Amino acid sequence: MQRIKIKELLKADPNNVIGNDYLVKGWVRTRRESKNISFIALNDGSTINHLQIVVDHDKFNEDFLKKITTGSAIGVKGQIVASPAPKQPIELHSNEIELYGEAPADEYPLQKKGHSLEFLREIAHLRPRTNTFGAIFRIRHHLAYSIHKFFNDKGFYYFHTPIITTSDCEGAGEMFRVTTLDLYNLPLTDHGKIDFSEDFFGKETALTVSGQLEGELGALALGEIYTFGPTFRAENSNTTRHLAEFWMIEPEMAFYDIIDNMNLAEEFIKYLIKYLLENCYEDLEFLNNMYDKELLDRLNHVLDTPFERLTYTDAIEILKNSNQNFEFPIYWGVDLQSEHERYLVEKYFKKPVILTDYPKEIKAFYMKLNDDDKTVKAMDVLVPRVGEIIGGSQREDNYDKLLKRIQENHVPMKDVWWYLETRKFGSAPHSGFGLGFERFMLFVTGMGNIRDVIPFPRTPKNIEF
């Protein structure tokens, strides 16, 4: 008999499955005993919903049934019948049960419902088996899929940028080293410096903080590309919004100016939300009911609302006049903190905001300089509860201006000469942005901590799993 997934069974018209025999396999969430009957709630990961298995005690050995405890893995053959229980249309009456793996009740940590998210983080190897993390990781899958679908349908090409690199795209000096040198016996130059010519690549290398610079090379040939890969930042920020290893989606488009870039970002976000509402409704509804009662309303509201667009300079004025007691002071030139971003989005505009034209001093070297010589064509997209989820810009496409910015920012020419060359040969206006995958997951799941939307979070002093 072929196995069927629980999702397929529950999705089917009951009339088409009632009376038929099926084989299901999964993990026991609970087993309740009444007089001569047990009820097993079985989950196989395909859906948030469990299949109710009815076990007639006369058909099975008592000692065998005792081993079917919460967390054990079983396969069940039996007949689907209409269920008298109000919440489910069907149940499975078992004829045969195979026990694949026990989960001794005195040791299995997920006996009861309602464990704290903090506790579950300590058992990241088992937390996918909870309803909450099942829902989150299914949503994560659908989100990744819908990102590829969005770009594919628009004619963008998925361009693979390297993980190991020599250049620090964001210039923040937050890179993780990659080396095969013997750390206990480092080769030194005559000047007493580490001799990286002896290293694997013959150069100093690190994990990438962004695929953008290489993505631009793709865009200036294929037209419209996107990257979707892991990025790494060794910033020591222990916040609910920072990971040391996170995933980023970076579209890069030739012949797009900053307005085209903003339009794409807004369309992209709305597309993804709509896709998730259509394809993961049950999981979203579960999270809405368990963690964030406004989640579904918020997502629907964002779908229906044009994003507010304003300049950094205007935002500073609003913040100055806000009469809020911000922890960090507000003045023109300051890098906005999450408290400022959230005030604008949650209190002032009450919708997502795209901030543009930031002072050049607080943005990366590659952003296109405005005619005022003071601001750059940057754009950050801010959303409720999370703050910044997208950072992007129109790129400086003028050779001389880019060269000047590289020098002003002390970016070593040996690391970016190839980048600069694209402004020498067939340079074209172009733009792009980066969406933080886990920041977006925070937004669409309503979870409060970024550690809870990635299976194995990497944060300072935390890498058990």
Among 229, 384, 432, 457, binds ligand 4AD (CB under 6 A): 432
Q: How far is the CB of 420 from ligand 4AD (least distance, A)?
A: 17
The reply to whether 250 sits near ligand 4AD by the rule CB under 6 A is yes
The answer to whether 394 and 377 have CB atoms below 8 angstroms apart is: yes
Residue 420 φ then ψ, to 5°: -65, -35
Q: How far is the CB of 242 from ligand 4AD (least distance, A)?
A: 4
Q: How far is the CB of 391 from Mg ion (least distance, A)?
A: 3
130 binds, among ligand 4AD, Mg ion, none (CB under 5 to 8 A by kind): none
Select from 168, 227, 265, 222 the least CA-distant residue to 428.
222
b or e along 133-161 (b: 16 or more beta carbons within 10 Å of the residue's beta carbon)? bbbbbbbbebbeebbeebbeeeebeebeb
How many angstroms separate the CA atoms of 387 and 389, rounded? Answer: 6
Site for ligand 4AD in 170-209 (CB under 6 A): 170
How many angstroms separate the CA atoms of 175 and 197, rounded? Answer: 19
Candidate segments 30-38, 148-156, 179-187, 246-254, binder of ligand 4AD by CB under 6 A: 246-254
Write out the two tokens for 168.
């620090």
229 binds, among ligand 4AD, Mg ion, none (CB under 5 to 8 A by kind): none
The reply to whether 120 sits near ligand 4AD by the rule CB under 6 A is no
Q: How far is the CB of 434 from Mg ion (least distance, A)?
A: 8
Q: Do strands 21-33 and 90-101 pair parallel, antiparallel, or not at all (unpaired)?
A: unpaired
Closest chain position to Mg ion (CB): 391
| CA quadruple 257, 259, 263, 266: dihedral sign | positive
The reply to whether 169 sits near ligand 4AD by the rule CB under 6 A is yes
Among 78, 352, 391, 457, binds Mg ion (CB under 5 A): 391
248 binds, among ligand 4AD, Mg ion, none (CB under 5 to 8 A by kind): ligand 4AD
Return the number of the residue (134 or 391) whose C-beta is nearest Mg ion.
Answer: 391
Candidate segments 35-43, 109-117, 330-338, 389-397, binder of Mg ion by CB under 5 A: 389-397
Q: Do strands 177-178 and 353-359 pair parallel, antiparallel, or not at all (unpaired)?
A: unpaired
Candidate segments 90-98, 226-234, 386-394, 455-463, binder of Mg ion by CB under 5 A: 386-394
The answer to whether 207 and 175 have CB atoms below 8 angstroms apart is: yes
Candidate segments 36-44, 48-56, 142-150, 434-442, binder of ligand 4AD by CB under 6 A: 434-442
Q: How far is the CB of 431 from ligand 4AD (least distance, A)?
A: 8
169 binds, among ligand 4AD, Mg ion, none (CB under 5 to 8 A by kind): ligand 4AD
Among 156, 159, 196, 433, binds ligand 4AD (CB under 6 A): 433
Site for ligand 4AD in 374-393 (CB under 6 A): 388-392
Residues 205-244, mask of contacts with ligand 4AD (x by CB under 6 A): -----x-x--------------------x-x------xx-
31 binds, among Mg ion, ligand 4AD, none (CB under 5 to 8 A by kind): none
Binding footprint of ligand 4AD on the chain (CB under 6 A): 169-170, 210, 212, 233, 235, 242-243, 246, 248, 250, 388-392, 432-434, 436, 438-439
